[in-house]
């Protein structure tokens, strides 16, 4: 009857420090992987954003019509066009 009321010998404590250390290392590895994943996600988001901005700029340039390509830097004020009638073609 000694076994029913706690008279039986107790089990010796098992040293779990090695397991605890492995668990801690595993948790650190998981945290590092999560940080790396988050960093890569933010980089991918930034890259996607810049690509979208570039595509929007291209769309805007094609919609506006390319006025800029018709302006010559050789003229003093290219927005005014050719002012001298003597220098026009066919004149």
Express each pLDDT in 24-74 by its tens digit.
999 999 999 999 999 999 999 999 999 999 999 888 877 776 555 555 566
The region of weakest confidence among 4-18, 56-70, 73-87 is 73-87
Tell me phi and psi for residue 22, to 5 degrees: -65, -40
Q: Look at the block and give the residue holding tokens 């420090």.
A: 17
Q: Is the pLDDT of residue 16 over 80?
A: yes
Helix runs in 11-65, H state only: 17-64
pTM of the model: 0.48
Q: Which residue has the higher pLDDT, 22 or 2?
A: 22
CB 8 within 8 A of CB 2: yes
Q: Higher pLDDT residue, 46 or 18?
A: 46
């Amino acid at each position: 009857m000694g076994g029913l009321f706690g008279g039986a010998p107790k089990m010796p404590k098992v040293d779990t420090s090695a397991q605890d250390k492995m668990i801690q290392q595993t948790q650190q590895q998981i945290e590092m992987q999560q940080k790396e994943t988050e960093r890569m996600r933010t980089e991918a988001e930034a890259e996607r954003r810049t690509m979208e901005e570039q595509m929007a700029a291209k769309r805007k340039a094609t919609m506006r019509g390319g006025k800029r390509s018709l302006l010559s830097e050789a003229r003093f004020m290219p927005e005014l066009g050719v002012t001298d009638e003597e220098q026009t073609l066919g004149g």
